[in-house]
Structure 1
Amino acid sequence: MYVLLLSIGCSVAVSVLLKLARSRRFDLGQAIAVNYIAATILTLGLLQPQPQTLLNNPDAWGLLSALGLLLPTVFLVMAMAVRHAGIVLSDAAQRLSLLIPLLAAFLFFNEVLTTQKLLGMALAFAALICLLIKKKNLNPSQPRAFLTPLALIGVWLGYGVIDILFKQLARTGSQFATSLLGAFVLAGGFMLLILVFKKTPWTARNVIAGLLLGVLNFGNIYFYIRAHQLFPENPSLVFAAMNIGVICTGTLIGAVIFRERLGKVNVIGIALAIAAMLLLFNAI
């Protein structure tokens, strides 16, 4: 069970670090680039990928290229969401992104839609709508309040598409660790090219922030994989515990440490999100 707690802790800690990035004046571009370098090294050392298999799998490169562009882009959108909407709503939107691969499985891959799945998906949609409704006068001085729902939708849509791309990579025969390595390398290379083009000056504090971000980002993935390995007979339990744990922990930290205030409709959205997870965890 401790591996699940570590995965939940790493996931929420990423949001906390993104929350602190602006006040600490970290350059997110540098931090995200270094994050992928650190994640690449950790993937090579701990997950034992087989990068040579990618050379013999041309079908995977289109999907990997899409992931290489999408991963850092969604990371930046997540940072925007945390800054404008807070940790609570951003983490909930990220977890509700599971709705997108479920819809894709039903619409494009001929998966059977059961009553339980349908009800869970309906609750997830309702939860997302409740999360997007901003409390009146929550921050009337904010000049760009429209960024809050846009960022949350971007997080929801982005992470959902990433999930679909990884599932499609698995269909090409690529192992998850190998696919993850390829995506990290391409994402890091993409961010480095942007930094070189912008002639961004490097600083030690941004590199350190990036290393910490990379360890937490990879830790979330690694401990989640380990949890599935330790509980091979209960994958749905791991799924439910992870998603509900992140939502509840993010809500606690956001409310207690960062004093994030939620409207009544947002609170209903959090409750609906947890209910949706409970319904869907047997369907995944």
Structure 2
Amino acid sequence: MFSKYKVDTLQAIVVNYIVASTSGFIAYQKPIEVSKIGESSWFYATIILGLVFILVFNLMAITTQKNGLSVAAVASKMSVAIPVVFGILVYKESTGFLKISGILIALIAVYLTSVKNTSGISIKTQNLIFPLLVFLGGGIIDTSLKFMEKNHVTEEETALFSACIFGSAAVIGICILSYKLFKKTLKIAPKNIIAGICLGIPNYFSIYFLIQALRNDTLDSSTVFIINNVAILLLSTIVGVLFFKEKLIQKNWLGIILAIISILLVTYSI
């Protein structure tokens, strides 16, 4: 929709981070003591995660420009492999036949659903670094969320932790916009702000509920990440067809079928 209405994505993303951070502080039910936030064991991690959020966003934009949208989509969604492997190796999560089959099928489904031409994906060697960094960055974000939830963030701190991540990303984003404003290469438009507000609230809750799902005693983190990523892929594909009249090729339909199968296999492996 940003593309359709010619929204400046960077401006909207920064406003989105401000709104998402504000949503977290509002959702936190206890009095907020700034000094205690700085003393929290997870505080510096939120600064790093905020930086990674901004970096991955810019890397996705560069990847799209250099290699095309399909490559960026595959790289970002394939990154689910990193937290899945982390959960299995570090936290000794279950590795039954159904679950492993579901994970492998999910990765194939991600590729097939994201490809938008019959010839598949082609990447120039000199541009390979960009999708690789998107893959690593996305994986680092999800893996870090699991690690922090497991070791440092209490359930009552979830809203505050999420707010600080977005707050950190917002501060970095504001610095970038301020530099552009100083260089007189920035034009602020109301539609960019409105777009950011519309994105910010669901963005906050997407992180909040992901962390809550990771706290579920009956679900392994590898299960949560696979179901979450594949379901997002399915929903975004359906929305693309229904509302943006996107055309699906045979590979996409096969990817959708495999995505549904992967969710069923991973779910029934619980």
TM-score (norm 1): 0.69
Deviation digits for residues 40-71 of structure 1, max 9, x if unmatched? 1111112437665542234x344323211122
AA at the equivalent of 1:193: C
Aligned partner of 2:100 in structure 1 is 118
- Aligned partner (choices 27, 31, 54) of residue 46 of structure 1: 27
2-side partners of 1:256 and 1:76: how far apart?
A: 28
Q: Cα offset for 1:75?
A: 3.8
Q: Cα offset for 1:30?
A: 1.2
1:221-236 pair list within 5 angstroms: 221=207
2-side partners of 1:261 and 1:153: how far apart?
A: 27
Q: Which moved more, 1:126-135 or 1:201-210?
A: 126-135
Q: Cα offset for 1:129?
A: 3.5
- Aligned partner (choices 237, 262, 282) of residue 248 of structure 2: 262
Q: Is the 8 A contact 2:234 2:259 kept in 1?
A: no
AA at the equivalent of 1:208: I
Deviation digits for residues 198-237 of structure 1, max 9, x if unmatched? 22342322212211111232244456678x6xxx787689
Query: Against the structure 1 CA distance between its residues 202 and 133, is the aligned structure 2 distance closer, same or farther, given a 3 Å change threshold?
Result: closer
- Aligned partner (choices 121, 141, 159) of residue 162 of structure 1: 141
AA at the equivalent of 2:52: L
1-side partners of 2:3 and 2:44: how far apart?
A: 34
- Moved runs in structure 1, 4+ residues, more than 4 A? 49-53, 76-84, 92-97, 144-147, 149-157, 221-226, 232-245
AA at the equivalent of 1:194: I
AA at the equivalent of 1:32: I
Q: Cα offset for 1:190?
A: 0.8
Q: Is the 8 A contact 2:16 2:196 kept in 1?
A: yes
Q: Is the 8 A contact 1:33 1:188 kept in 2?
A: yes
Aligned partner of 2:159 in structure 1 is 177
Aligned partner of 2:38 in structure 1 is 55
TM-score (norm 2): 0.72
AA at the equivalent of 1:168: F
Percent of aligned pairs sharing the same letter: 27
Q: Is the 8 A contact 1:93 1:128 kept in 2?
A: no
2-side partners of 1:42 and 1:36: how far apart?
A: 10
Query: Against the structure 1 CA distance between its residues 103 and 255, is the aligned structure 2 distance closer, same or farther, given a 3 Å change threshold?
Result: same
Deviation digits for residues 137-169 of structure 1, max 9, x if unmatched? 79xxxxx9759x998776665433211111121
Q: Cα offset for 1:32?
A: 0.9
Query: Against the structure 1 CA distance between its residues 262 and 69, is the aligned structure 2 distance closer, same or farther, given a 3 Å change threshold?
Result: same
Aligned partner of 1:66 in structure 2 is 48
Aligned length: 252
**Correspondence 1:197 to 2:183:** no
**Correspondence 1:187 to 2:169:** yes
Extract unaligned runs of 5+ from structure 1: 1-19, 139-143
Query: Against the structure 1 CA distance between its residues 174 and 238, is the aligned structure 2 distance closer, same or farther, given a 3 Å change threshold?
Result: closer
Q: Is the 8 A contact 2:162 2:208 kept in 1?
A: no
AA at the equivalent of 2:254: I
Extract unaligned runs of 5+ from structure 2: none
**Correspondence 1:36 to 2:36:** no
